[in-house]
Chains A and B, each alone.
Chain A
Amino acid sequence: MGKTFYGVELPNPLMLGTAQYPSPAILEEAFRASGAGVATVSLRREGAGGAGQTFWQMIADLDVLVLPNTAGCHTVKEAVTTAHMAREVFDTKWIKLELIGHTDSLQPDVFQLVEAARILSEDGFEVFPYTTEDLIVGERLLEAGCEVLMPWGAPIGSGRGLNNTYALRAMRAEFPDVPLVVDAGIGLPSHAAAAMELGFDAVLLNTAVARAGDPVAMAKAMMAAVEAGRMGFEADPIEARDMAEASTPVIGKAFLS
């Protein structure tokens, strides 16, 4: 049995974003075809046409777990206010806490992240912090009340995969009982599989699917990848070695030379 996310067991290890798809129909089909069990969503100013209500109805019909984000927030106050609005609109205590610190890399501002995580945890939120792979920041987030950590694989939307597998492996070793999610930077199914092979509990991605030439096929590929990666991790893989080791037995080989 996998680890739970604030008491909730995910149906599978794929968390999928809902932004940037060519159309709402393709977004919907990507979820249905892949079976992704968690959808990240956001809040934006509502227009006169009520576009948000149409979107919400579609997400509600998918019958998935909803993880609202605080995307685009740069201050603790802004993120906390956004979280409160999200809790009311989406009727969930879950919040993907994003506090952006750097414009080009969208690197989290981990100092403000820890502060906001503490405020929100004390207020009853279940915080999914988008963080870096820094172990000490991870510790501080856990102390602040987080029960999940979501380090980046690479900058959001970059598709670079896992920039720092050493640090992600260290994080897995340091926090063996904490649900860990690689959030952001995934471009290929092999990246998602690699995260799962490290022993991560889930992968959160959006752009890699939404901007693929065939988002529905890519969503299915990502699901196959995370499931293969998890099975591989659980199967206790062999250690890599420098020299060959014959797999076919030498004993019994016919003498022919």
Chain B
Amino acid sequence: MKIVLNGEARDVAATDLAGLLAECGFSGRVATSLNEEFVPAGLRAAQTLADGDRVEVVAPMQGG
């Protein structure tokens, strides 16, 4: 399936958001959005992916 992950086009095997995180090696404190909508951690496994989906995975970073 072709998706866009953090702005980069990717071809992935995962069919849901939780699977995508595992496939791409994300762990720890991250938050996710799908097509600009927040997806809480508890709903990632139930969140299926479709071709062309835009996924954002963010983590703690320095800020002012």
* A interface residues with partner B (beta carbon < 8 Å): 17-21, 27, 40-46, 48, 50-53, 55-56, 59, 68-69, 71, 77, 81, 84-86, 88-90, 156-157, 184, 206-207
B side interface size, CB within 8 A: 26
**Closest Cβ neighbor of A68 among chain B residues:** B63
B38 CB to nearest A CB, Å: 4
Contacting pair B29 A56 (CB below 8 A)? yes
Q: A88-B40, A89-B31 are in contact. Are A45 and B56 (CB under 8 A)?
A: yes
**Closest Cβ neighbor of B33 among chain A residues:** A81
* B interface residues with partner A (beta carbon < 8 Å): 6-7, 24-33, 36-38, 40-41, 56-64
Q: A56-B28, A81-B38 are in contact. Are A42 and B33 (CB under 8 A)?
A: no
Partner of A86, one of B7, B31, B32: B31
Q: B33 contacts which chain A residues (CB < 8 A)?
A: 81, 85
Contacting pair A55 B38 (CB below 8 A)? no
**Closest Cβ neighbor of A48 among chain B residues:** B25
Contacting pair A85 B63 (CB below 8 A)? no
Q: A52-B29, A88-B31 are in contact. Are A43 and B62 (CB under 8 A)?
A: no
